[in-house]
Amino acid sequence: MNQGTSSSTVGIDAIAIATPRAYLDLVDLAAARDVPSDKYTKGLGAIRMAIAGRHEDPVTLATDAASRLFARAGVDASRIGYMAVGTETGIDHSKPVASYVHGLLGLPAACRVFDTKHACFGGTAALMGAVEWIASGAARGRSALVVCSDIARYALGSPGEPTQGAGAVALLVTERPRLVELEVGHTGTYARDVHDFWRPLSRRDALVDGHYSVSCYLDAVAGAFGAWRDEDVRRGGAPLARTAYHVPYVKMAKKADRHRAIACEGLDEAAAEARFARDVGSSLAFAAEVGNVYTGSLYMALAALLHAEAGVLEGERVGLFSYGSGCVAEFFAGRVAVGAADVVESLALDEPLRDRVRLDFGAYEAIRRADGDEPAGVTADDEVDVASDRCAFVGVDAAERRVYRRATHGSTPRADAASTAAA
């Protein structure tokens, strides 16, 4: 039973992911960079990384994920009263990604709409706000939509290049959720002012102090988990059956769970290895296919975990660890709802990974080298190839407003959106 409210539970009712249409195989990247493929596939745990094309950005990915969520879960858009986007891939100094997505989805005017940013923690900040909005009674029976949407991009040839990725995860937050009942008010938090990862306003590529960032992440695991565990012991909480982590790359989740097991819980190496395989391994399948999606990486892991094991986890408690460089972290937990397996099956969570195009290395480099060259001078009538049920960034109009076009089911694109708001 959720301990945050006596009248009902609050949590994640449905989930959906979106990825770009193209990916680069890490074997091809390794060959081009003249390094052994095992350095990426075994050293990082990566198989492929999603590559955003010219007409894909945080708005299109967020819209695609939310559209899929609405269609698969039968969401009534008129009942959404809170819509937040967690992102660190900014497209404007003022106008939020959430504003575009709100318009493209046709959500109600009576809706709280905003972005949240704290590196990769932004999605969890949005989720916690949504949970507390509902638990407080302010929602008055309405639901919340939280979307995590990012493009992880590092300089060509840099150590961070094989950890790139792109994608979005949409979460429907409600009372009496069908997937995961979150424990309102029971979290462990940790924060420090550090420079482990940053992206100056003048740069599109992120900068990272790799070894220091790993150290900061592990310190945050110990701090946030320790704070959560102290309170959990006081509450007499049941054991965690599984744990999903923030996944900048697959092997980082293994380092995190090992650190928690040995430094925080006193397990030996063999026990730590066995627990990781049992409790964390199945949550990493999507990350290995997509790469880092920053704010969405924890929730991509949760989606993979539910896709693989919802049936055996019904009624069980799962832990969730979120980390954002800079840094802040939060450890929290939820219980997989009875009946979640049927809901997960209807959501077809892995479907966006099935129909993608493999880029050759030359095409990948061409996309990356053109990153700063956005389409310009567009009009609302410009033609652009928009796949069915997808959204596309058309370009920038004469007033420097971004223009988007959204496809409708099996028909030609009809919905356009551009920024017309005054400051």
- Is-catalytic flag, 88? yes
- Tell me, what amino acid is at 90? G
246 included as an active-site residue: yes
- 110: exposed, middle or buried (C-beta count within 10 Å: 0-12, 13-18, 19+)? exposed
Q: How many CA atoms lie within 13 A of 416 on its CB side?
A: 17
Annotated active-site residue in 56, 102, 120, 327 = 120
b/e map 320-329, b = 16+ CB within 10 Å: bbbbbbbbbb
Q: Which of 327, 347, 254 is closest to 46 using CA atoms?
A: 254
- The structure tokens listed for 195 are 């420079």
Which residues have C-beta within 8 Å of that of residue 196, sequence separation ≥ 6?
Answer: 208, 209, 212, 213, 215, 216, 217, 325, 326, 327
DSSP state of 60: H
Is position 132 annotated as part of the catalytic site? no
- Sequence-distant contacts of 155-161: CB under 8 A, at least 24 apart: 155/205, 156/365, 156/368, 156/369, 157/33, 158/205, 159/210, 160/206, 160/208, 160/210, 161/29, 161/33
Contact partners, residue 306, CB within 8 Å, separation at least 6: 15, 179, 180, 313, 336, 340, 344, 349
Catalytic residue among 246, 289, 307, 330: 246
Active site members: 88, 120, 246
